[in-house]
Structure 1
Amino acid sequence: MRGVISIQSHVVYGHAGNSSAVFPLQRMGFEVFPIHTVQFSNHTQYSEGWTGHAFPASDIAELTLGLEKIGALKKCDAVVTGYQGSVEQCEMVAELVKKVKSYNPASIYVCDPVMGAPDKGCIVNEGISEYILDTLMPMADVIVPNQFELSQFAGMEINSLNDAVAACKKALTLGPQIVLVKHLYSISDDKFSMMLAFDDQCYIAQRPQLDFDKALVGVGDLISSLFTAGLLKEWSVARAFKHCNEAAYAVVKKTHQLGEWELQTIAAQDEIVEPEEKFELGKCVQDNSFTYYSV
């Protein structure tokens, strides 16, 4: 039984963190070994608040040891990480990734560097952003930042498509082999835009921007899991990117149709595997200072 270790937050109600990432990976055919960094009653954007607590970093070390004893680390083909509740948890994540790779050098580390966004600011405790930027992102094979997180990693502002391409190329020189920008805010107001960069190639994917009364939570976790699944299926990087864009839109669209705020992952589960709506990728081409894309 081979699988994916997913180290993220967990909510009892709704879909965010592992509650958003685990089922799509399972639905696409993979076993998942989830490790929760926090367990909350619901995600933190509820005005009514939430209950629950963060787990001690030692939990990750203890669970890693238990998995190692039964030989599960040898069967791990990917480690996916999202929200971390402390610097100590980040340190344990780094140790786990190293240990998994020692058993399975072909395994991949997919890092969703959850730090914040322009409208939310920094949403993690002191020291976490620095550890993610300095240690976890450089050691990752794949990073899945939003525009804000990419700008922090690349050390530059992103205000245009040209900036985004340049930031992705800079990120590729800092350790990761693949960069998937899960949300580019500055590219379009009426379309949801993502970007993919690897080797010397760069693509943009866009889908309709649906209006919600309140911003959805857990979409980035969904995107990370879908992309990881595509890579583990040994699809081309571009195909995995295209599929994750279409499948994520299917979940968001179903959520909109049902008038819900929590992602309707279960209701849209068939389209996680085979999305109905298709969106072509645009290939970004940079010639000196001129950048364009065609869809």
Structure 2
Amino acid sequence: MKNIISIQSHVVFGHAGNSSAVFPLQRMGFEVWPIHTVQFSNHTQYAEGWTGQAFSAAHISQLIDGIAAIDQLKNCDALISGYQGSAEQCRATFDAAIRLKQANPQALYICDPVMGDPQKGCIVADGVSEALCQKLLPLADVIVPNQFELSQFVEMDIETLDDAIEACQHALAKGPKLVLVKHLHCLSEQQFSMMLASQKGCFLVQRPHLDFAKAPVGVGDLITATFSGGLLQGLTPVAAFEHCHNAVYGVLQTTQQSQQWELQTVAAQQQFITPSSNYRAQQLSQLSSII
């Protein structure tokens, strides 16, 4: 059984950050060692507010120290990082990834660079975006940005498919081996688009948009977790990409059918094993008929 450290936010109620990522990975057969950057009562999109606290960067380092002290870092197969509450937390996460690589050179570092988006505005503290772009993203084996986060990393606007391809190529040149763009919103208002890029080429998968009274939170965390799980199961990047896309779509369908905006991750858990949809990724040379 493979083991994964997951450093990201956590909510007591609902599913965002680690509470969106841990259970799906467990359902896929992994041991998950969660480290919380913050712990809130609920996610921050509630108009009523939330309670809880952010943890210090030292909290992350101390927990990594403890895992190292019992000689378990060498048995960890991947580190996933998501929401970082401060630039100092970014540095602690960077150090954790370095220590993991030293203990197990085969381990993967997967970075979900949570920065925000143009609609919601920046939702991270001062210095976090810079630390992500300068430290964490270049170190990662796999990055899972949305369109806005990718544009920040490569310092270019993304408005077309050609822009997205170029941006992914720039990102790959900075260090990562795989880029999964978890939402490429510039391509279509009717279709939800995701892109995967590696040195072997670019792939696109699309499915219908689902309408919600309020947009679900934690979808990006779920995408990162399920894609990471597929890679660690030994799937090819494209197969892991397709599985991730279809599993997350199944969770969203269940959430919509339940008339909820909190992800119905537990109710839809079979999606992580056998997704009910079978949308296939297509190489970009084959896309003229669907773009």
TM-score by length of 1: 0.96
> CA offset at residue 281 of structure 1?
1.1
**2:15 aligned with 1:30:** no
Secondary structure of the 2:216 match is: coil
In the other structure, the counterpart of 1:261 is 261
**2:38 aligned with 1:60:** no
In the other structure, the counterpart of 2:19 is 19
In the other structure, the counterpart of 1:218 is 218
Distance 1:102 1:150 in 2: 28
Q: Which structure 1 residue ranges, 5 or more long, are not aligned?
A: none
In the other structure, the counterpart of 2:252 is 252
Deviation per CA, 1:101-134: give whole Å up to 9, x if none: 0010000000000001010121101001000000
Contact 1:116 1:123 in 2 (8 A): yes
Change in Cα spacing, 1:57 to 1:169, as seen in structure 2 (3 Å) is: same
Deviation per CA, 1:187-227: give whole Å up to 9, x if none: 11111110000013100111121000111100000000000
Contact 1:285 1:293 in 2 (8 A): no
Report the number of matched residues.
Answer: 291
Distance 2:92 2:155 in 1: 26
Matching residue's letter, 1:195: M
Distance 2:290 2:74 in 1: 42
> CA offset at residue 292 of structure 1?
4.0
Distance 2:255 2:276 in 1: 15
**2:159 aligned with 1:127:** no
Matching residue's letter, 1:64: I
Distance 1:2 1:28 in 2: 10
Matching residue's letter, 1:202: C
In the other structure, the counterpart of 1:174 is 174
In the other structure, the counterpart of 1:92 is 92
Distance 1:271 1:293 in 2: 29
1:97-246 to 2 correspondences below 5 Å: 97-246=97-246
Distance 2:285 2:146 in 1: 21
Deviation per CA, 1:116-168: give whole Å up to 9, x if none: 10101211010010000001000000000000000111111111111111111
Secondary structure of the 2:4 match is: strand
Deviation per CA, 1:26-82: give whole Å up to 9, x if none: 000000000000000000000000000101111111100110011221111000000
**2:37 aligned with 1:40:** no
Contact 1:283 1:294 in 2 (8 A): no
Distance 1:271 1:65 in 2: 35
Distance 2:48 2:285 in 1: 47
> CA offset at residue 294 of structure 1?
5.5
**For structure 1, which segment, 4-13 or 156-165, has the greater mean C-alpha deviation from structure 2 after superposition?**
156-165
Contact 1:90 1:132 in 2 (8 A): yes
Distance 2:3 2:109 in 1: 13
Aligned-residue sequence identity (percent) comes to 56
Runs of 4+ that moved beyond 6 A: none
Distance 1:155 1:292 in 2: 27
Contact 1:57 1:89 in 2 (8 A): yes
CA RMSD of aligned residues (A): 1.3
TM-score by length of 2: 0.98
Contact 1:284 1:293 in 2 (8 A): no
Distance 1:280 1:210 in 2: 18
Distance 2:289 2:133 in 1: 29
Matching residue's letter, 1:7: I
